[in-house]
Amino acid sequence: MEGFDKQAESIDVGQRLRALREERNISIRALARLSGLSANALSMIERGMTSPSVSTLNKLAIALKVPVTAFFRTMPVKEAVVFRKASERTRIPFLRGMMEGLGGEHFIGRVEAFLLTLENGGNSGPSYIVHSGHELVFCLRGKLEYDVEGKTYLLESGDNMLFSASLKHRWRNSGTTVVNALIVISSFHEEEYPFEYHLSNLSQET
């Protein structure tokens, strides 16, 4: 069969860990303190001398504020024009909600967009989200609360807001009906993946 003839791409988790750590200017000692792991164990993982367990990866993901999937990320092919049929979207379900990518991971520019669907009580997780760039939020349906630096903004159908994504922010459905919203993130640092920052809190909650 053709599918079995293709060789699977090898992912070096140790190299991904080092890259994620260095992108955030975190030393091994600092990461050891944040994760509760030893600096020696982290060094061995980064050098490929040992393979981390799922439990270890979860601790590192929380410390680095990324989803576990960030350790297995491969670089997608970048395109000048990205066209997506509705059926081709990347859909990531979470507790009381879903995020749908709109192809930003394949675009050559620094723009990411996704659709957010939240049931009553759905939210972004226990911690604030912080990343580079600017964030545009457009509420399509329902009542969406956005907390930015401790101030709460209530967006209803047709409302929007724009802010610097370096400000601490989080979101939740404060109403009794389903929320649909469009979120667009632009001008972020080249090495960052804002979509993952929004996912990192969700991975802690679910």
Residues in the chain: 206
Above pLDDT 90, what percent of the chain?
43
Residue 97 vs residue 154, higher pLDDT: 154
Region 128-148: mean pLDDT is 93
Which has the closest alpha carbon to 98: 90, 110, 106, 107? 90
pLDDT tens per residue across span 9-53? 446 788 889 988 988 889 999 999 999 999 999 999 999 898 888
pLDDT-derived band of residue 2, with 50, 70 and 90 as boundaries? very low
Q: What pLDDT, in 10s, does the model give residues 159-180? A: 999 999 989 999 999 889 999 9
Report how far residue 189's alpha carbon sits from residue 181's, in angstroms, rounded to the nearest whole number: 24
pTM of full prediction above 0.75: no
pLDDT at position 26 is: 93
| CA distance linking residue 69 with residue 152, whole number of Å | 30
Q: Rg of the chain over CA atoms, in angstroms?
A: 18
Q: Which residues of 13-23 are buried (b: 16+ CB within 10 A; e: fewer)?
A: bbebbbbbbee
pLDDT band at 74 (very low <50, low <70, confident <90, very high): low
Structure letter (DSSP) for residue 87 = G
Please state the φ and ψ torsions of residue 46, each to the nearest 5 degrees: -65, -30
Whole-number percent of the chain with pLDDT over 70: 84
Q: Token pair of 96, please? A: 């009381």
Which of 37-46, 54-63, 84-93, 182-191 is predicted most confidently?
Answer: 37-46
Do 139 and 184 touch, CB atoms closer than 8 A? no
